[in-house]
Amino acid sequence: MVKDQEFLKKKASYCLGLAKKLGATESSVIVNNSVSETVNFRNKKLDESNRSDDLGISITTYIGKKKSSISSSNLQDDNLNILIEKCVETTKNTPEDEFNSLPDKDLLAKDFKDLNLYDDTHIENDQKIDYLKKLESAASNDKKIINTESSFAQNKSNFILANTKGFCAGYKTSSFTASSITVAKDEKSMERDYEYSSKCFLKDLDDAGELGKKAADQTIRKLSPKKIGSEKIAIIFDKRIAKGILSTFASAISSSAISRGTSFLKDKVKQKIFSDTINVLDKPDILKGLGSRNFDIEGVKTDTLKLVEQGVLRHYLIDTYNGKKLNLKSNGRCGGTSNLYFENGNVSFKDLLNSKSKSLYITETIGHGSNIVTGDYSVGATGFLVENGEFKYPINEITIAGNFKDMFQNITLANDLEFKYATNSPTMMIEGMVVAGK
């Protein structure tokens, strides 16, 4: 069981009091506890089972505009005394930075919704093993599958965030995650793919048999890929790849990148960066949402942000420090986004496939080819050739490239949005991208 709130609050209060006594003018502390259990299978046999119980504390002290932080996994009072003393001494010897401060008091969260993020259910190892046996059986049902790996992880966590401006709050979260990785082989190639499910509540987790079968089907359909030539063509991104493009967008509008001048979206607020049909939201109050929260890691309240409205960029993701650099108030995004997503488009998945006589459907990208300074995008990729709405054959060993400034303007979204992750996108088509092939 994770530590209760009273234990964590007691430790946080002790740290804040001691830091003040030792000379800190302001301070903040996070105390967290997480308990994880994982079972792994390989080729239908139990491979590994482990459990971890992590308890940690992170303290930040301020003396005027000087700031330093320190962390430890030892929460004994004797160790905390040494830890905080070191932190305060380090702060005294740290250069001043005019932008260092705790968040403004009026921005701190005061109202806390029950976002239904914690499931008391505990699944025993025997139950995890039974789930994985069913998953592995479904994943290896076809003779073309020559290797399987799967895992089941259960995580429960609790934390308290407190500071000297009177903020003290935290909450429990839980997650149950199952994954399946399969390798398939035929006379021409060997391919790999995966599928996974992650939910706050055990009862919402995907069925084991369906999860394993989906991983196997996705792998087998990639067998015997063909090579294609270089051309300029419409690219359709599978939802799990499209969400990566949305993550890159989030990095490009983070206040740290904007304040450093290292983003191609610097000075683009109130400017049109997408087509008229595109809306991007960050919504922290989705019940059971994997990214849901009432406040960010500084304690600042989080409200829904319409980051992009009819193609126009409305907000950056602002934390306290970088916000002060930009002369903007924090909007509760220290640590990044919550539940980030593109709103649904106006066409069905089928109509999107049929919208071009020829396109490429991308199911996997290789490498980290997103440059948020220039907006350049270039990655290796595998997927399928699509002609007249039909998947013709798998393709591999291609590179797809473009620049986000142009890509964003040429996005068409399907209406098949699902909230499977913390960042989600419908199926996405981008016209006019460059493909380098054989």
* Reduced 3-state DSSP string for 283-339: CCCCCCCCCCCCECCCCEECCCEEEEECCEECCCECCHHHHHHCCCCCCCCCCCCCC
* For residues 151-178, average pLDDT: 97
Integer angstrom CA distances of residue 84 from 35, 68, 70, 361: 26, 11, 8, 54
pLDDT band at 437 (very low <50, low <70, confident <90, very high): confident
pLDDT at 40: 97
C-alpha closest to that of 374 among 401, 400, 340:
401
CB 196 within 8 A of CB 177: yes
pLDDT band at 198 (very low <50, low <70, confident <90, very high): very high
* For residues 37-64, average pLDDT: 96
- Average pLDDT along the chain: 96
pLDDT at 369: 87
pLDDT at 415: 97
**What would the two tokens of residue 36 be?**
């994880």
| Residues 72, 75, 79: CA angle, nearest 5 degrees | 75
pLDDT at 438: 72
pLDDT in tens, 244-287: 999 999 999 999 999 999 999 999 999 999 999 999 999 999 99
Q: At what angle do helices 208-220 and 125-139 cross, to 10 degrees?
A: 30
pLDDT at 1: 80
Count CB-CB contacts under 10 A for residue 390.
Answer: 10
CB 201 within 8 A of CB 121: yes
Residue 86, pLDDT > 90, answer: yes
pLDDT at 54: 96
Name the class of domain 5-220. alpha beta
Domain boundaries, the chain: 5-220, 231-436
pLDDT in tens, 343-389: 999 999 999 999 999 999 999 999 888 999 999 999 999 999 999 99
| Residues 321, 325, 326: CA angle, nearest 5 degrees | 115
CB 180 within 8 A of CB 135: yes
Integer angstrom CA distances of residue 187 from 191, 204, 223, 224, 241: 12, 39, 9, 8, 28
- Percent pLDDT > 70 in the chain is 100
pLDDT band at 431 (very low <50, low <70, confident <90, very high): very high
Terminal alpha carbon distance of the chain: 56
* For residues 382-402, average pLDDT: 95
Question: In a 3-state reduction of DSSP, which class is residue 352?
Answer: helix
